[in-house]
Structure 1
Amino acid sequence: MCLSNMESLDWHDVGLAWFDTHLVRVPIDQQPLLESFQALAERRREIVRLYGHLPVRNQALGRASTPAEAYMMVGNGYEFE
């Protein structure tokens, strides 16, 4: 999950490849939890693909949010996880 915090698509791809490799290796009762982490990682990768970074960090890094970024974070009911 740490790689889903990166602002580089390459690192997101590495993290998602890990899920593909390890999901089949965990006990069946633990797979839903790992699948939920994988889904979160996929959503974060898509955000980085769309915006080039994680907009939720804009304020802390002194970046201005575009209207699209602000809408994505709270305006459409999707809060960044």
Structure 2
Amino acid sequence: MVQKQYNVTGMSCEHCAASIREEVSEVPGVSEVVVDIAAKIVTVRGTDLDDERLHAAITEAGYGVTDTAAA
């Protein structure tokens, strides 16, 4: 299993976290999405994770991805 973390801009509440979880969960290979609102970090676990698709899912949810955090 692979783990990736992303710094996300614009999220501030549980509704934000739920939107991100919903979009990112639909990306092929994703098995778990953990959103830390306070730290503004999204942790994704799964197999064959595609950074481009994960970035696109976060953007589709309405948030920005500033960079990839160290996992």
TM-score normalized with structure 2 length: 0.33
Q: Which one has the bigger helix percentage? A: 1
Larger radius of gyration: 1
Greater length-normalized contact order (CA 8 Å, ≥ 6 residues apart): 2
TM-score normalized with structure 1 length: 0.30
Q: Which one has the bigger strand percentage? A: 2
